[in-house]
Amino acid sequence: MRTKKSLFVCVVLSLVLLAPVFGGGQQEGVPGVTEDTIRVGSTMALSGPVAAIGGPMAEGLRAWIAHVNNAGGIHGRQIDLRIQDDQFNPANTASLTRRLVERDRVFAMVGSLGTPCVLAIMDYLNDRGVPFVYQGAGATQLAVPPKQYVFPFQPNYLLEGNVMATYMVEELGLTRLGMVYRNADDGQDAYNSARETIEKAYPNAKLVEAISVDPYSSDFSTAIRRLQAADVEGIMLVTFNPQTPAFLQQAYEFGLTDPVILGSYANADASVVAAAGPDAGEGFQVMAWVAADLTDPDFPPWKIYQDFVGRADAIPNAFAVAGMIAGELFTEGLERAGRDLTREALVEAMESMDNWQGQLVPGATYHPFGDGTDVTSRLGIQAMYVLEVQNGGLAPVSQWIQYRDLD
């Protein structure tokens, strides 16, 4: 009798101890989710060669999360955002992400920066069912083939290379094109896409010179001489800061001033223009996808940033805006997922977005993953436009340019 009674007590105690895991609300058994917090991770280059991008992007993400938390959080929960400095080193990104997932037990990852860095953790997170929302990168591999738990948003380099070529040929009427691109996954994606677009869609145009450059090189003299010898009319430039202003300065010094130079969207920022200088930077054109006024301090969403940095006239740069968009997209997913938050609920919530327009998000669409055969299920926006440096500022010079279908 005593044995049966003891067994009964043990079973009851076991059920009580397990209740927080299996009962009391499904969310209570989910990593990173408590009654009043949602723990979220991110990796950014806060130091190192691209800190000029990572620092502002992290600030923008923090600003949006602070705005949401100050408004009461998401369904009564505050977001605990933990950003780790990976110095734009993929090995660091991988180890820091493992620490965030396995030690800190974050619910999701959001806004991590850089193509080589996010590709280093993409499969790790997807295989473990950890949602990975918004990456500060345009690698095609993030979206194609689709991954159930990975939600890219920025235009990928497949899209950008296509739109760059379309703009130069269709809108500018150029036929002799050159390209300078980073010898990395991002640059290679853009090059392959631009080349294929020209070959299939524009038989009267030709990519007469294409030059890959070391991602950390600062000397572009050889590339510039090759472009001059090829007599190009337009140059597609897929490099980042500080390489882009260095290229523009050297092109100006060598007299390569007649061709239109069109940079990738990573350069749509006043810091790039300032670093290039008024002579070398003037007339530089750059791809863009953020539909926001970066010159007007009274643009309503900037109040969120101004409150965070404590300056009433502050305007976020393009990289900070990217961080804010990451935050807005992620928190919209959390809001849709509801109080009973699970990772699967967040995935379903993200998949419910159909051209969703936020304060900054220009239109988010995802489809159910299903069996993974729908290659459009994880694509971000599919159009871009062009800005030009005019009198030291960036001004739009085109309408939205849609991806050119090559089928």
Segments of the chain with pLDDT less than 70 = 1-28
280 lies in the same domain as 398: yes
CATH code, 125: 3.40.50.2300
Task: Report how many domains make up the chain.
Answer: 2
Find where tokens 């110095």 sit. 87
14 falls within a domain: no
350 lies in the same domain as 316: yes
276 lies in the same domain as 170: yes
219 lies in the same domain as 137: no
13 falls within a domain: no
Q: Residue 77 to residues 70, 72, 211, 386: CA-CA distances in angstroms?
A: 11, 7, 50, 40
342 lies in the same domain as 391: no
262 lies in the same domain as 390: yes
277 lies in the same domain as 306: no
40 lies in the same domain as 138: yes
151 lies in the same domain as 162: no
Q: What pLDDT is recorded for position 383?
A: 85
Q: What pLDDT is recorded for position 138?
A: 82
Q: What pLDDT is recorded for position 101?
A: 98
Entry pTM: 0.75
43 lies in the same domain as 88: yes
118 lies in the same domain as 176: no
State which residues form the domain around 365.
Answer: 31-155+298-376
11 falls within a domain: no
351 lies in the same domain as 335: yes
Six-digit token string for 283: 């007339």
